[in-house]
Homo-oligomer: A and B are copies of this chain.
Amino acid sequence: MALVVTKFGGTSVGSTERIMAVARRLVARKEAGDRVVAVVSAMGDVTDELVSMAREISEAPPEREMDMLLATGEQVTIALLAMAIEALGHEAISFTGPQVGIVTDSGHTKAKILEVRADRRVRSALDEGRIVIVAGFQGVTEDGHITTLGRGGSDTTAVAVAAGIGADLCEIYTDVDGVYTADPRVVPSARKIDAVSYDEMLELAATGARVLQLRSVEFARNHGVVIHCRSSFNDREGTIVREADETMEQAIISGVSHDTSEAKVTIRDVPDRPGVAASVFGMLADANVNVDMIIQNVSESGTTDISFTTPVEDLVRARRATAEVVAELGARSWNVDESVAKVSLVGAGMKTHPGVAAQMFRALADAGVNLDMISTSSIRISCVIAAEDVERAVRALHSSFGLDSDEIHAEVSPACGEGA
C-alpha cells in the first residue's frame, strides 16, 4: 500500500468528461490499495479567460488581485473532481492551497513555497478513507493573502505536498509519455528514458526539455521526493526522477535538449580593464534581465567583445540596459541576434568519461554546424548555434552518442508539458 501524490495538468482536466476520466483513474488506484492525493490545475483555458477579463479592466492589474482572481481556476477543478469521485461511489474531499497550508512568500503571481503546514489535515482525510484533492498553483502568505506560484506551479505544489506528507511517490501526469532522449518531434527515433537523476533532469529542464518544470525538480531534489512523470492518456510507465544510485542505468549521455527561446547580445570593443564584466552584468541584473551564457573574448588591443544570451521575453529590458551599458563604458557598438539556438548534451557519465566534448564538437562539425558560444557544467555541455541548424544538430548528436532507438515513433505527441 503506497501513499501517492498524483498531479494532473490543465489539459487532463479540460472538460467535465476528462475530469470523470481522471476520477476513474484515481478510484482504480485507490481500489488497488493505495492512499491517493491528487493535485490539479485549472481546466484548459480557464486561466487565459480570467486573465483576459482582468485585461478588460486594467492594463496592469495589481498582482495581489490577479492571484485572487486566478486562484478560482483550480478551485473549480478540485470541486468538480471531488464530485466526480463521489459520483463513482468513493469518498473524496477537496482543499484549496490555503486550506492545505501551502505557505508561500508574498511574491504575488510567482510566489515561492516556504512550507506545507496542513499535512495533518491531508493525513486525517486519508485515514478516513478519502481521496484527497488539492488545488495546485496556489498558496497563502503568513498574513493570509492568496498567492499563485507562477509557471510550473502545480507541479511544484504536487512535489511540495508529497514532501509534506512523506509520500512514497509523486506522479506527474502530462501529455507525453515521459522524458525523452531528445524532443521526439525533432528526433523520431528518440527513446523514452526510464530513470534519470535529479541533477540530469535539472540540466535537461534548464536547457529546454519542457516535460517537468525546473523548480518542481529542484524542490523534489531538496526534499528527496521521487517523481514519476507519465502520460495521462495511457497506462505505460513513464520516467522516474530520483537520486542517482548504483541501480540506475549508467548511460554516459542521458539526452540531447535544445532551446530556441533565447537571443544573443554582443557588445563590441568594451575597454578591457578590471571590473568591466561586473559593471555590464551588474547593470543587466539591476534591469531584471536574466542572463544565461556569457563569453568574453581574449583581449589583444586593449578592448574586448562580450556576448551573452538572454530569454527573448527579457529582450526589451535587455536592449534598454545594454544601450546604457554601452554609453557608460564607452564601448563601440552592440547588436542583438535573435536567430540563435542552444543545443545541450546532458549526462552524469560525462564526469568520468573524458572526450565527450571533443566527440560533440566533431559531430557538430561533421554536420556542418558552426559553434557560436560554448558553456559547460560537470554533467552538461551547451553550444549556441544558428537557429536554422538546430534540428540538424540535435539529430547529429543523438545519433553520434548512440541514443537512437530501433523503434521510430509513427506519430508523436508534442514534447511540451502542460501549463501551470
Contact = CB atoms under 8 A, between A and B. Distances in A.
B69 A79 contact: yes
Interface in A88-111: 92-94, 96, 99
Contact of A66 (B19, B20, B79, B146): B79
Interface residues of A, number: 35
Contacts of A61: 83, 86-87
Please give the count of copies of this chain that the complex contains.
Answer: 2
Interface stretch (A52-60, A157-165, A336-344, A386-394): A52-60
Given A50-B76, A144-B99, A68 B82 contact: yes
A75 B72 contact: yes
B86 A65 contact: yes
Given A19-B57, A58-B86, A99-B144, A75 B65 contact: no
A357 interface: no
Contacts of A83: 54, 57-58, 61-62, 65-66, 69
A334 B87 CA distance: 38
Given A72-B72, A86-B65, A80 B94 contact: no
* Residue among A58, A79, A87, A94 having the largest count of chain B Cβ atoms under 10 Å: A79
A58 B86 CA distance: 8
Given A64-B93, A94-B65, A57 B84 contact: yes
A144 B53 CA distance: 30
A250 interface: no
A59 to B, nearest CB: 8
A365 to B, nearest CB: 55
A315 to B, nearest CB: 28
25 contacts: A16-B53, A16-B56, A53-B76, A53-B80, A54-B79, A54-B80, A54-B83, A58-B86, A58-B87, A61-B87, A64-B93, A65-B79, A65-B82, A65-B83, A65-B92, A65-B94, A66-B79, A68-B78, A68-B82, A69-B80, A72-B72, A72-B76, A72-B79, A99-B144, A99-B146
Given A58-B83, A99-B146, 9 more contacts: A16-B56, A16-B57, A57-B83, A58-B84, A58-B87, A61-B86, A65-B79, A65-B83, A68-B82
